[in-house]
Amino acid sequence: MQDALGAPQSVLLLGGTSEIGLATLRRVLRTGRTRRVLLAGRDQAALEVAAKDLGGGPEVRTLRFDAADDPADHEAFVTEATRDGDLDVVLLAFGLLGDQERSEEDPAAARRVIDVNFTGAVAVLVPLLRALRAQGHGTVVVFSSVAAERPRRANFTYGAAKAGLDAWCQGMADRLVGTGVRLMVVRPGFVHTKMTAGMRPAPFATHPDAVAEATWRGLVRGAQTVWAPPALRWVMAGLRHLPRPLWRRLPG
Amino acid sequence: MSPEIAGPSPGGAGVRPPGGVGGDDRLLSGWGRTSPTRATVRWPLTDDDVAHCLAEPPQRGVVARGLGRSYGDAAQNAGGTVLEMTSRRGVLAADLEAGWVRVAAGTSLDELMRWLLPRGWFVPVTPGTRMVTIGGAIAADIHGKNHHRDGSFGDHVRALRLRTGGGEELTCSPGTHPEVFWATVGGMGLTGVILDATVALLPVETAWMLVDAERAADLDDLMCRMESRDHEYRYSVAWVDCLARGGSLGRGVLTRGDHAPLAALDRPRRERPRHFDPRPVVTTPQVVPPGLVNRLSVRAFNELWFRKAPRRRVGHLESISYFFHPLDGVVGWNRLYGPRGFVQYQFVVPFGAEDALRGAIELMSRSGAPSFLAVLKRFGRANPGPLSFPAPGWTLALDLPAGSVELAGLLDLMDEIVLAAGGRVYLAKDARVRADHLGGMYPRLAEWSDVRAKLDPAGTVTSDLARRLGL
Ligand SMILES: Cc1cc2nc3c(=O)[nH]c(=O)nc-3n(C[C@H](O)[C@H](O)[C@H](O)COP(=O)(O)OP(=O)(O)OC[C@H]3O[C@@H](n4cnc5c(N)ncnc54)[C@H](O)[C@@H]3O)c2cc1C
Ligand SMILES: NC(=O)c1ccc[n+]([C@@H]2O[C@H](COP(=O)([O-])OP(=O)(O)OC[C@H]3O[C@@H](n4cnc5c(N)ncnc54)[C@H](OP(=O)(O)O)[C@@H]3O)[C@@H](O)[C@H]2O)c1
């Protein structure tokens, strides 16, 4: 169960090696009430390292998960993930930025970005939310992106996929009212992680710990959407209405 | 005597036979409105209905619910079944010579008081609201302003009928199956479903109170006044301003009183001395924006409350509802805290641990967390219930808005102070204590768990609180 101030007893991190995901997990663990952690991802060895880095305290289990798998695999994954009891908080933090130019040339590359970020995310959320509804409680945090707000030349295939996921999550969050299950969308801007390594930082660039703190505050406050850093909410509210010729010329 | 209070069964049909569908999916929370979860709600109309629900439990178990006045997650059961016991109300038997009633567990103290007062009797213990059921009063072993003299609700229960999680029906009392009786008193509904109970009553001549009120300049002054003269009154409670600082730290208003004898009433009141028909005064709007209760609004309110209190007033006549249940006049006042709700933090520390009490109030004052009406009271002796909250010492209750990241750490610090002093928090109010602190706060937890395991080997009866605290 989550307590009145948001602290969960169990957490599942989808994208168990994601830097933003792990930072958020560490923030949640500071509440001192979490006893069970599940790290799900593709790279078993990397997951083990991440588990070790979490230190003592909660019992950590690693699970194989690939977003690009078939629906039947996602179903089996959820059965496995719920084996030991309730999932109080689920962090969906996997994502694939991909190479924008390649995705414009190579249909397989384009499809891969959409499969991981959108199709795979929705396909695993469906059985997960079914399980959470059956347990009558739970919170899901989905990492979307500012890129979902308005497509940019630098990453619009990724942006389109995130926009699809973001829209689906907004609809789902409304569907979940009254079920005891909550879904919160987080839209980070440029974050210094391995996903953006070597890229030129965009304005308002931030760090995983700052995203984690904003996410945790949003959870405790009962927010539906969190921007990280929070100022991006207002920046994007303005930029959304920028005329296309100007928007096109923005750097990055 | 036949059921005299019985009202219509609220909203919906009773339980359909086992195997049937029945029930209504609802989002439930406690009075603090934090952590709502969904469960299937059923309204058992008979003992057999209760038995059926326990005999064929859903995978996630069953718990009883009264009027949902516990603040946290005690009366909810995510993904399982919740039995709304208010479907079973009424006085089943009474002896108004000897002074006892046998009542269905879903009867509220409000209903019972309306029935008893005109007949010259009062409930032995009343909390700060009348809107609690007999089942909830026993399960939380509630206390009132008279604890220093009369003990808690469980001390006045002569017997109760329980349908255990294991499916057995037991009548227990301090004399028969005492271990079951005392595990149920304060057992937060986890030993089974209380069907009805026989409760000893207090004779009263009127429905009025004679009240003395006085202001205390600071915490020492307040505690000193309580220690020296509480024993002269049946009822005593103090309100503390937790935002006052420095020399005024812990300033407060002390109110104490007794049931007014007939002779104390003036002529008009003497014509209907035991008339009791309190009505709500206002209703809180359904939707209140977050942040209404904040440091500024609470500081202003506390200041006003303190100033409006008389420096000293003796023998003031007040109605029972005004004296005991002022908040019942405002329907749904808990909504004032907005969508994120609030938590109530109530602890007790033993006599001799006054420094811990002072430390806790200082911590609150320094943090600036906005607490309305912190309530301070001295408890008398404890009863044999292993999970019963009251123990000799000082108890303080604070209401705090949830939804701030800082609150968790602040209350964790409060827990440390309370634990180190040999104190505990009240489970009927709790919504966030650490599971691993529970054994330290309730040293007889293991004893209670043993009794419960025998009554309910499969763990059929469970709640969100039980899951959160590993009970
Ligand atoms: C404004 C206000 C003031 C209060 N003041 C005080 C006070 O001064 N002193 C005090 O002690 N408490 C006080 N309380 C707390 C309240 O008295 C307790 O939480 C009480 O248990 C609420 O009763 P309920 O019928 O609403 O029970 P619920 O909140 O519905 O349930 C509380 C517990 O009782 C169990 N339960 C209910 N019915 C049954 C049954 N038939 N069989 C088995 N278990 C059952 C539930 O499972 C749950 O664990 C106050 C609450 C409010 C809102
Ligand atoms: N960094 C940013 O600037 C930024 C900005 C906005 C939004 N976000 C979003 O925030 C989330 C976390 O990103 P991050 O910055 O922490 O990136 P990161 O450290 O690179 O993590 C990305 C994670 O996605 C996982 N992943 C990739 N493909 C997968 C697949 N097919 N199946 C399962 N897992 C897969 C990776 O696992 P492997 O270890 O197996 O590769 C890795 O754990 C992502 O959703 C991202 O889109 C990031």
Quickly state the pLDDT bin for B282 (edges 50, 70, 90).
Answer: confident
Q: Tell me A198's DSSP state.
A: T
Q: What pLDDT is attached to residue B5?
A: 55
Quickly state the pLDDT bin for A211 (edges 50, 70, 90).
Answer: very high
B416 Cα to chain A: minimum distance (Å): 14
Q: Decide if pLDDT at B56 tops 60.
A: yes
Taking the CA atoms of residue B280, residue B299, residue B302 and residue B67 in that order, the dihedral angle to the nearest 10 degrees is: 40
Please judge whether A5 and B38 are an interchain contact, meaning their C-beta atoms are less than 8 angstroms apart.
Answer: no
- In 3D, which of B379, B349, B351 has the Cα closest to residue B147? B379
Q: What pLDDT is attached to residue B330?
A: 85
Q: What pLDDT is attached to residue B15?
A: 43
Q: Is residue A101 part of a domain?
A: yes
Going by CA atoms, what residue is nearest to atom 53 of ligand 1? Answer: B69
Quick count: other Cβ atoms within 10 Å of Cβ B334? 20
Higher per-residue pLDDT: B454 or B285: B454
Those residues whose C-beta lies under 8 Å from the C-beta of residue B423, and which sit 6 or more positions away, are: B347, B348, B349, B350, B353, B356, B393, B441
3-state secondary structure of A54: coil
Contact B399, B342 (CB under 8 A): yes
Q: What is the 3-state secondary structure (H, E, C) of B66-107?
A: CCCCCCCCCCCCCCCEEEEHHHCCCEEEEECCCCEEEEECCC
Q: Decide if pLDDT at B192 tops 50.
A: yes
Q: Is residue A93 part of a domain?
A: yes
Please judge whether B73 and A1 are an interchain contact, meaning their C-beta atoms are less than 8 angstroms apart.
Answer: yes
- Give chain B's mean pLDDT: 92
Contact B244, B217 (CB under 8 A): no
Quickly state the pLDDT bin for B290 (edges 50, 70, 90).
Answer: confident
Q: How far is the CA of B128 from the centre of ligand 1 (A)?
A: 11
Q: Is residue A238 part of a domain?
A: yes
- In 3D, which of B151, B155, B148, B142 has the Cα closest to residue B199? B155
- In 3D, which of B306, B427, B407 has the Cα closest to residue B364? B407
Q: Which residues does chain B have within 8 Å of residue A137's beta carbon, measured at their own beta carbons? A: 35, 37-38, 78-79, 464
pTM above 0.80, yes or no: yes
Higher per-residue pLDDT: B293 or A67: A67
Contact B106, B19 (CB under 8 A): no
DSSP string, B122-172: E-S---S-S--BHHHHHHTT---TTHHHH--GGGGEEEEEEEETTS-EEEE
CA distance B257 to B212: 6
Quickly state the pLDDT bin for B17 (edges 50, 70, 90).
Answer: very low
Ligand 2 nearest atom to the CA of residue A186, by list position: 7
3-state secondary structure of A59: strand
Domains and CATH numbers, chain B: 24-204+452-469 (3.30.465.10), 208-439 (3.30.70.2520)
Contact B138, B385 (CB under 8 A): no
Q: Decide if pLDDT at A212 tops 50.
A: yes
Choose the closest CB to B464 out of A1, A32, A217.
A1
Quickly state the pLDDT bin for B142 (edges 50, 70, 90).
Answer: very high
Quickly state the pLDDT bin for B305 (edges 50, 70, 90).
Answer: confident
Residue A102, domain extent:
10-249
Q: Decide if pLDDT at B10 tops 90.
A: no
Q: Total domain count for chain A?
A: 1
Taking the CA atoms of residue B125, residue B127, residue B130 and residue B134 in that order, the dihedral angle to the nearest 10 degrees is: -60
Q: Does A221 touch chain B (CB under 8 A)?
A: yes
Q: What is the pLDDT of residues A73-100, one digit of tens each?
A: 999 999 999 999 999 999 999 999 999 9
Contact A208, A21 (CB under 8 A): no
Going by CA atoms, what residue is nearest to atom 10 of ligand 1? Answer: B142
Q: Is residue A4 part of a domain?
A: no
A61 Cα to chain B: minimum distance (Å): 20
Q: Which of B468, B469, B471 should we substitute to test contact with A (largest number of A Cβ atoms within 10 Å)? A: B468
Name the residue of B82, B133, B388 whose CB sits within 8 Å of the most ligand 1 atoms, as the mutation to test its pocket.
B133
Sheet with B192-200: strands ordered across = B91-95, B100-104, B192-200, B157-164, B169-172
Q: How far is the CA of B134 from the centre of ligand 2 (A)?
A: 54
Helices assigned H by DSSP within B199-294? 219-229, 267-271
DSSP string, B39-56: EEEE---SHHHHHHHHHS
Quickly state the pLDDT bin for B4 (edges 50, 70, 90).
Answer: low
Q: What is the pLDDT of residues B342-386, one digit of tens each?
A: 999 999 999 999 999 999 999 998 888 888 779 999 999 999 999
The ipTM (two decimal places) reads: 0.94
The beta-carbon contacts of B267-274 under 8 Å, at least 24 apart in sequence, are B269/B206, B269/B208, B269/B317, B273/B205, B273/B206, B273/B207, B273/B208, B274/B117, B274/B118, B274/B119, B274/B120, B274/B204, B274/B205, B274/B206, B274/B207
Q: Mean per-residue pLDDT for A215-230?
A: 97
Q: What pLDDT is attached to residue B21?
A: 32
Q: What pLDDT is attached to residue B139?
A: 98
Task: Find the CATH number of the domain harbouring A185.
Answer: 3.40.50.720
Q: Is residue A145 part of a domain?
A: yes
Q: Does A137 touch chain B (CB under 8 A)?
A: yes
CA distance A107 to B229: 85
Ligand 1 nearest atom to the CA of residue B375, by list position: 8
Contact A40, A13 (CB under 8 A): yes
Quick count: other Cβ atoms within 10 Å of Cβ A98? 19
Q: What is the pLDDT of residues B411-433, one digit of tens each?
A: 999 999 999 999 999 999 999 99
Q: Does A225 touch chain B (CB under 8 A)?
A: no
Q: Is residue A2 part of a domain?
A: no
Q: Cα A27–A31–A37 angle (5° rounding)?
A: 70
Ligand 1 nearest atom to the CA of residue B141, by list position: 11
Q: Decide if pLDDT at B296 tops 90.
A: no
With both helix axes pointing from N to C terminus, report the angle between B405-420 and A208-221 in degrees, rounded to the nearest 10.
80
Q: Is residue A5 part of a domain?
A: no
3-state secondary structure of B218: coil
A119 Cα to chain B: minimum distance (Å): 29
CA distance B100 to B111: 15
- In 3D, which of B375, B369, B427, B366 has the Cα closest to residue B398? B375
Quick count: other Cβ atoms within 10 Å of Cβ B17? 10
Q: Decide if pLDDT at A6 tops 70.
A: yes
With a 6 Å cutoff on the Cβ, whether B105 touches ligand 1 is yes
B29 Cα to chain A: minimum distance (Å): 10
Q: What pLDDT is attached to residue B22?
A: 55
- Which positions of A are catalytic? 158
Q: Is residue A138 part of a domain?
A: yes
Cα distance from N-terminal residue to C-terminal residue, chain A: 43
Which residues of B fall below an 8 Å CB-CB distance to A? 27, 32, 34-39, 60, 72-73, 77-80, 339-341, 343, 402-405, 407-408, 411-412, 431-432, 434-435, 464, 467-468
Q: Mean per-residue pLDDT for B298-302?
A: 78
Q: What is the pLDDT of residues A19-48, one digit of tens each?
A: 999 999 999 999 999 999 999 999 999 999
